[in-house]
Chains A and B, each alone.
Chain A
């Protein structure tokens, strides 16, 4: 509730509009930085899938490689969304 009062843009806000805008900007950049870190994590995951595939060879491994790539594409998409809509 406290957080809602601080961030809410309506008249009940106890925070001036410029501080409210600053908080939104802070949240936006936090989300973007998190998305960049997550993109790096998805890259590590692809590398790990590659190592795992070399360790255990199965007929299902190409599907897992594809899942890793789809996951990375999704994280890239989320980063672009954060950059565009926020």
Chain B
């Protein structure tokens, strides 16, 4: 005679699941174009002249630590007005022999010695000008869609490159001070970060307000990327 089936009290049955269609959202890991989210950069044309000091979306430019897919959004150099000291020094130094030669300052020296001294002087002026120009040209501040980078060549034999990711930026400040700075619209942008280097200073850059606005837009975009899962 078969046993009567008795259900086990401890046996648990799975709860009936509601019939919900599972939708898998696939995010494309393609960074958006800067013009899509930056009002500052939308107004700027790509810069092709490498000698300028405010280069938005520079064409045919790069840097050594640039990673694949990283785009330079803005490249900055110090404003030329802030470089007037070495430009004036070079000009005055080149005029010095012309000013002093009628005074017969070196009249006691033979002619060949005088010519040699003038030649040596002009060589030094050329060297000073070239070295100052190189320092201006290669000391750049770079803003990419991922990082901010400060390239410093403090002397001919000392190089320092600092970088911080955009999402590490905590605070940005633009300072325009002085009569000349106000007229020519240049100043200093100070960037506080949570990176190893706590503070970045973009000294004497053109349009500091634009720079801070751009950085704020980049921070917002970075946050948006995190929320939407577009973080690379």
Contacts and interface: CB of A to CB of B under 8 A. Distances in A.
Secondary structure of the A contact surface, majority rule:
helix
Contacts, number: 90
B123 interface: yes
Nearest to A41: B127
Contact of A82 (B62, B116, B124): B116
Interface residues of B, number: 34
Given A55-B64, A78-B120, A64 B151 contact: no
A64 B61 CA distance: 15
B14 interface: no
B179 interface: no
Interface residues of A, number: 38
A45 to B, nearest CB: 6
B116 A4 contact: no
B108 A57 contact: no
A36 interface: no
A59 interface: yes
Interface in A30-58: 31, 34-35, 38, 41-42, 44-45, 48-49, 51-52, 54-58
A52 B112 contact: no
Given A3-B108, A24-B110, A54-B64, A48 B134 contact: yes
Nearest 10 pairs between A and B by C-beta? A4-B108, A58-B50, A57-B62, A60-B50, A52-B138, A8-B108, A85-B112, A48-B156, A55-B64, A7-B108
